[in-house]
């Protein structure tokens, strides 16, 4: 009988709880809409020009580099993971898996020949981020990309946070010794695998693989910058990979305006 009474009491609270959730959601929608004069790009532009967005954070993914000729990862048929059959991988993501790399580094080194910076040009999306910087509005650009096109578009390195690393450096995966990225690049173009001069271990660029921790700077900057952001612009990412995707929630919790412009 006691359990039955508790169940009935809990059921009586459900409508009230659902009502509160719906009411809170509507309030959030009204608040977001009240920030914009219109729910389109013109409204966003007006919001920025009004001076209310002085610390803009950009979250960028592979989609902003597709028009440069670099495939994204997950689009069926055209995405990078759909094009890796030639490497005979046990699963597509294995090419970026640190455990598989230790076992067989050759597929990554073959793919790196196509991914190494220098063969592609920035897209309008990259120059849009540069424009925000030139206008003094960009707080930080967080990118999942390893193509380096943000810097090639003219963004200073301190304004860019490569959440998944970059080709700017290289380390031995055994002893941790820093190695010449130019030596790694030469090995890539010679169809070889770079090894450490100290211990003979495998060397890889400082691109973050599955099974590795994200750069310390990413965690440090996300905490500081999301606390200051007054506008978050998300471009070219499906927000699947964590912890990058969770940054959006950090912005919304602080009642900031978030704009997702993948189309």
- Residues designated catalytic: 164
Which two structure tokens, joined as six digits, stand for 77? 């048929």
Distance (Å, whole) CA 217 – CA 180: 21
Facing residues of 205 across strands? Answer: 170
Instruction: Report which DSSP code applies to 1.
Output: -
CA 143 – CA 148 distance, rounded (Å): 9
Cis peptide before 243 (omega within 30 of 0): yes
47 within 8 A of 53, measured Cβ to Cβ: yes
Q: How far is 197 from 203, CA to CA, in rounded Å?
A: 10
The position carrying tokens 């700077």 is 217
Give the tokens for residue 130.
């540069």
């Amino acid at each position: 009988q006691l359990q039955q009474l508790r169940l009935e009491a809990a059921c009586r609270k459900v409508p009230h709880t659902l009502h509160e959730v719906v009411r809170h959601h509507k309030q959030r929608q009204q608040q977001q809409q009240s920030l914009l004069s219109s729910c389109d790009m013109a409204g966003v532009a007006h919001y920025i020009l009004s001076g209310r967005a002085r610390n803009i954070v950009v979250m960028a993914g592979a989609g902003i580099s597709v028009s440069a000729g670099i495939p994204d990862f997950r689009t069926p048929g055209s995405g990078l993971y759909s094009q890796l059959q030639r490497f005979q991988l046990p699963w597509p993501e294995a090419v970026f898996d640190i455990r598989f790399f230790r076992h067989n580094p050759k597929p990554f080194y073959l793919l790196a020949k196509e991914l190494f910076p220098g063969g592609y040009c920035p897209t309008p999306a990259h120059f849009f981020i540069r424009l925000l910087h030139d206008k003094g509005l960009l707080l930080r650009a967080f990118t999942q990309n390893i193509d380096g096109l943000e810097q090639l578009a003219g963004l200073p390195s301190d304004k860019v946070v490569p959440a998944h690393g970059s080709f700017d450096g290289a380390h031995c995966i055994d002893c941790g010794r820093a190695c010449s990225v130019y030596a790694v690049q030469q090995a890539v173009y010679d169809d070889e695998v770079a090894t450490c001069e100290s211990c003979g271990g495998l060397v890889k660029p400082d691109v973050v693989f599955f099974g590795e921790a994200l750069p310390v700077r990413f965690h440090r900057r996300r905490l500081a910058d999301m606390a200051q952001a007054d506008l978050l612009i998300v471009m070219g990412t499906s927000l699947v990979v964590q912890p990058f995707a969770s940054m959006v929630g950090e912005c919304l919790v602080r009642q900031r305006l978030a704009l997702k412009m993948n189309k």
